[in-house]
Structure 1
């Protein structure tokens, strides 16, 4: 962990006294953390991870590993004890996951009922719902990223090729690109093509086409990012048939925001990936509204996860959004 902290600090261009001053930690302690002569507390590790932009999971694993090694040292039965501890942790993890599923089961049941009701609609109604919700998703997702086009303006740009006075070229491109990204995802889903890293990068390329062409479809030039994304796709392959799609999509969203694999467009791609998984499994768009109130609510829920590493806040947030959008889809047919 000492190397992790030192490298991150030097990459950020901080001196030890600057880190100490910002975090309110004694400078001598920062130096001792980096030489390995003193172990930081969990609170100090969290503060350092946030300031130095170190992946929270990576630094916590390093911290816990060193804590375990410090406690057990070279005890004769250390390995046997660790194996028993691993079994106990796995058992506890399953119990916690089961408890969480129990608490949200009623909402999941409501969502499944709404989903089945929508799937019983005529093809014409399904097509009309899809177009309306898709346009709203594109408009609100871009607003979430700072685009000032209204829903009607977004519709005019996409459907009629209009240029909106007073709006930048990038704002027009963002609307067009996101529309093409969604079309690409829908085509893959229709052909029942599974999510792959290649298509994930293609989506990023489409979303940033003409805006940041030199950065589109490429991860940051960092071996650590490549490693993290390999781990992400391994995680996805392992869990895609085990986790409920809404839990899977929510967690995928959070993982992308944790890794931040791209120079630009991470939030947008996290949002696209989440909805890619939802659409693939027969759900509607979980559209996060882009106005100031809803944007702040979204950012607060993400921050809550980052501070606690508890995914339940965000999962519950997405569950409610998905439920509301399913109800909205049904209302569209009723009108």
Structure 2
């Protein structure tokens, strides 16, 4: 932790005196934090994280680790005690997840009924609605990210290879790249390939091709990003069979948005991974619409999640979208 604090302060070009003044504490305390002879309080950790722009979770983990080591040191039974603590924490998380699940069980039940109804359709109908929903997902996802191609224009670019007058080459590339990326994920699903770092980097490379080639398929040049992404994949592997797929997909989205591992395309990546999880589990795309009202609502929900540290707000948002899109799929068959 002391290294994290010192490096972050020096990177921002601040002196210990300046940090102390900004936090309203004694300068000697900052020096002691950086030498490891004194530990900040939890409140001070929060304020240091904001001031020095250190990821709060990363700093908290370092703080808790040192706090635990200080308390238990080299006690003979320390490791056994820690294993029991880990087990209790995991059990507590399961109780929390169960609580969230019970509060949304009604809409999950409705979604399951709609999903089964769609699965009963003939193969021809399933293929047809899949193509339409896929195209809508590509068009709307790009619109959320500022692409001005309409649905019909996106369809013409992808299906007919047309060039739309007045639209930039980048907008054409975004449509083509996303279509190829969606196809790539479909192929992975058919092969039962699970989400991994290798596939995540490949997907980023596909959506960035010809747009930001220097950054495509590469994390930001930051050691903390690699650590955060390792934690993300550990979390995913631990929860992919425990959490309901829609909750898993929504939580994965929020985690990737928070980490923002790439120089560009983080929203697209989070959206693709969320929908990979959904489609992998026989759900339809949770397509966030690209009109101003829905974008404003989406941004407002993300902000509320962050401010309240409550992922259930976003989970409920995605549940609503998934239900709407399932109804949309049924409507397409009845036409």
- Name the TM-score class by shorter chain: 0.7 to 0.9
2: distance between equivalents of 1:19 and 1:290? 42
Alignment length (residue pairs):
331
User: Structure 1: how far apart are the matches of 2:197 and 2:244?
Assistant: 21
Name structure 2 gaps, 5 residues minimum: none
1:193-208 paired onto structure 2 within 5 Å: 193-208=193-208
Instruction: Measure how far apart 1:153 and its partner are.
Output: 1.8
Aligned 8 A contact 2:133 2:285 in 1: yes
Report the secondary structure of 2:251's partner residue.
Answer: helix
Inter-partner Cα distance in structure 1 for 2:243 and 2:119:
22
Tell me the residue number matched to 2:142: 142
Q: Counterparts of 1:99 and 1:282 in 2: how far apart (Å)?
A: 25
Q: 113-122 or 162-171: which moved more?
A: 162-171
Distance 1:204 1:6 in 2: 33
Mapped partners of 1:192, 1:73: distance in 2: 44
Please give the alpha-carbon distance, in whole angstroms, between the structure 2 residues aligned to 1:289 and 1:51.
Answer: 36
Moved more, 190-199 or 260-269: 190-199
Q: Deviations over 1:241-260 (max 9, x none)?
A: 22211111111112211222
- 2:30 corresponding residue in structure 1: 31
Question: CA–CA distance in 2 between the matches of 1:63 and 1:296?
Answer: 36
1:323-334 alignment, distance < 5 Å: 323-334=323-334
* Structure 2 CA distance for partners of 1:230 and 1:75, relative to 1, 3 Å: closer
Deviations 1:98-137 (A, max 9, x none): 2111111111111111101011111221122111111111
TM-score normalised to structure 1 length: 0.87
Shift of 1:202: 1.0
Deviation, structure 1 residue 233: 1.9
Comparing 118-127 with 55-64, greater Cα deviation is found at: 55-64
Q: Determine helix, strand or coil for the equivalent of 1:211.
A: coil
What CA distance in whole angstroms lies between the structure 2 residues aligned with 1:3 and 1:268? 34
For 1:52 and 1:91, how far apart are their aligned partners in 2?
A: 34
Q: Give the 3-state SS of the residue equivalent to 2:104 in structure 1.
A: helix
Give the drift of 1:232.
Answer: 2.0
TM-score, normalising length: structure 2? 0.87
Report the secondary structure of 2:300's partner residue. helix
What does residue 298 of structure 1 align with?
298
Q: Deviations over 1:224-278 (max 9, x none)?
A: 2222222222222222222211111111112211222111111110110110111
The range that moved more, 305-314 or 76-85, is 76-85
Q: Which moved more, 1:166-175 or 1:279-288?
A: 166-175
State how far apart, in whole Å, the 1-side matches of 2:11 and 2:244 are.
Answer: 39
- CA, structure 1 residues 226+90, in 2 after alignment: closer, same or farther (shift >3 Å)? closer
- Deviation of 1:85 after TM superposition, in Å, equals 4.9
Which residue number corresponds to residue 311 of structure 1? Answer: 311
Query: Residue 141 of structure 1 contacts residue 288 of structure 1 at CA under 8 Å; is this kept in 2?
Result: yes
Deviations, residues 38-71 of structure 1 (Å, cap 9, x unaligned): 62444x544543554433322222233445567x
What residue is the counterpart of 1:189 in the other structure?
189
Pairwise mapping of residues 114-125 of structure 1 onto structure 2 (< 5 A)?
114-125=114-125
